Amino acid sequence: MPRADKRGAPRAGAADAQALLRGLPSVDAVLIALEGEPALVALPHARRAEAVREALARERQRLLAAAAAGVTAGPTPAPKDAARIAVEVAQRLGGAGAFSLTRVINATGVVLHTNLGRALLSKLAQERLQAVAAAYSNLEMDVARKERGSRYSHVEGLLRRLTGAEAALVVNNCASAVLLALESLARGKEVIVSRGELIEIGGEFRIPDIMRRSGAVLREVGATNRTHLKD
């Protein structure tokens, strides 16, 4: 018989919880119920199986919580069947999609938008990327000299012609560029910065912190809203 709590009301025990858990469907049963879902065709079997195990774990926790709470009103909660759990798994996986990146419409008025992928690739760049990414490439191989090369060589010449700089290096964000430039050229030296530029950029990078980390001596000039050449 179910045990009673201090008020005399019946309370579900360990045996009741185990009985509920035995009613859960197997992973295979839910996977069979998922077959034919068009939104999940692109997902590998391992990903679907992982999602099913996660769903069964959530259902197991729900049943154990109900048993531990000693539900007295209404019928004892029944475990969800394979079809119902399959629906939940399909909704979760379908909402997440096989790939997290997707096309969006930029209606912000900002052409080079940091959060929306920045600059778009030209048609030629798209074609070259598709052609090269589908095979091995000379990313870090100097084919002419038959030895290891540098991945930066493919873009350094382009950037030098574009900017007129003597050399070029590509990094993945502006904070990295500032740090490397100052550490290489201004360690221990004074670096002038307008007070209006002492901002926090994406990723919680703060310009003053980055500049100090490079070993440079920060010299603030001007005002927060305006800086003149005389400053």
Q: What count of other Cβ atoms lies within 10 Å of the Cβ of residue 108?
A: 9
| Dist CA 102 CA 118 (whole Å) | 14
Q: What count of other Cβ atoms lies within 10 Å of the Cβ of residue 217?
A: 13
pLDDT at residue number 146: 93
Looking at this protein, which amino acid is placed at residue 128? R
pLDDT at residue number 71: 52
Distance set, CA 213 to CA 44, 91, 178 (Å):
44, 46, 10
The SS3 call for residue 7 is coil
Is there a contact between 203 and 173 (Cβ–Cβ < 8 Å)? yes
pTM for the predicted model, two decimal places: 0.49
pLDDT at residue number 18: 78
pLDDT at residue number 16: 67
DSSP state of 146: T
Non-local CB neighbours of 228 within 8 Å, separated by 6+ positions: 222
Distance set, CA 19 to CA 28, 56, 64, 79, 184 (Å):
20, 15, 11, 10, 68
| Dist CA 118 CA 110 (whole Å) | 9
Q: What count of other Cβ atoms lies within 10 Å of the Cβ of residue 36?
A: 8
Is there a contact between 20 and 50 (Cβ–Cβ < 8 Å)? no
DSSP state of 212: H
Phi, psi of 192 (to 5 degrees): -90, 135
pLDDT at residue number 199: 87
* Tens place of pLDDT per residue across the chain (231 aa): 444 444 444 444 566 677 778 888 999 999 898 887 776 777 888 888 998 999 999 988 888 887 777 654 445 678 888 898 998 888 888 766 556 777 899 999 999 898 898 889 999 999 999 999 999 999 999 999 999 999 889 999 999 999 999 988 888 888 888 899 999 999 999 999 999 988 887 777 888 898 889 999 999 999 989 999 999
pLDDT at residue number 187: 93
